[in-house]
Amino acid sequence: MTPDVEGTSEDDDVSSANKREATTLDSLLADLKRQPDSAAAKRISQRVWRIWADSGSDTINLLMDRAGKSMTAKMNNVALDLLDQVVRLKPGYAEGWNRRATMHFQRRDFGRALADIEQTLKLEPRHYGAISGFAVIMEQLGHKDRALELWHRVLEIYPANEQAQKKVIDLEEELAGEPA
């Protein structure tokens, strides 16, 4: 910890930046909850995702970027190795766990995906992306009642989420015995 010119430490600066980011995230999620317009809500959601994506560490951000590029290039083993490093180096970074959950899901390793989603939601209970992933897995495993509960949970956070709205309608119809 080294003092800067004004007598505060670098750690204090990081702490202040983290507090500002948390306040901004809280504000954006409150706006998202109140926004009925789908297009406006998507813009707010993009800002939320940008905050979630920024780990606060150049190293972690670089690893996440490389993992994303590896996933796009279908280099799944490389992506998974990079994401393993992310969660080892910064276990308090929710999006690292969420991205690794996505990688496990793509490999159809639902057990590991669910474990990483659980960790994501411990760190950020409002992570509607992780909750959506949880819902998709529950539906694929045949737990449609649980999937419906999770889609409702997404809508509590992000009411204008069109995917969640459609899934709720489809699952309610299916569970009621009507064609989806």
**pLDDT for residue 177:** 86
CATH classification (class only), 55-113: mainly alpha
Per-residue model confidence as pLDDT tens digits over 10-27: 445 445 555 666 689 999
Distances (CA, A) of 168 to 77, 93, 123, 145, 162: 34, 30, 26, 10, 10
**pLDDT for residue 158:** 99
**pLDDT for residue 23:** 81
Identify the segments of the chain with pLDDT beneath 70: 1-22, 178-180
As a whole number of angstroms, the distance between CA 152 and CA 167 comes to 9
As a whole number of angstroms, the distance between CA 172 and CA 168 comes to 6
**pLDDT for residue 15:** 52
**pLDDT for residue 148:** 99
As a whole number of angstroms, the distance between CA 174 and CA 139 comes to 12
**pLDDT for residue 35:** 96
Q: How many CB atoms lie within 10 A of CB 159?
A: 16
**pLDDT for residue 21:** 67
pTM here? Answer: 0.86
Instruction: Map out the domains of the chain as residue ranges.
Output: 55-113, 126-180
Per-residue model confidence as pLDDT tens digits over 70-85: 999 999 999 999 999 9
Give me 95's structure tokens. 């999006």
Alpha carbons within 13 A on the beta-carbon side of 113: 21
**Helical H runs in 35-143?**
38-53, 58-72, 76-89, 94-106, 110-123, 128-140
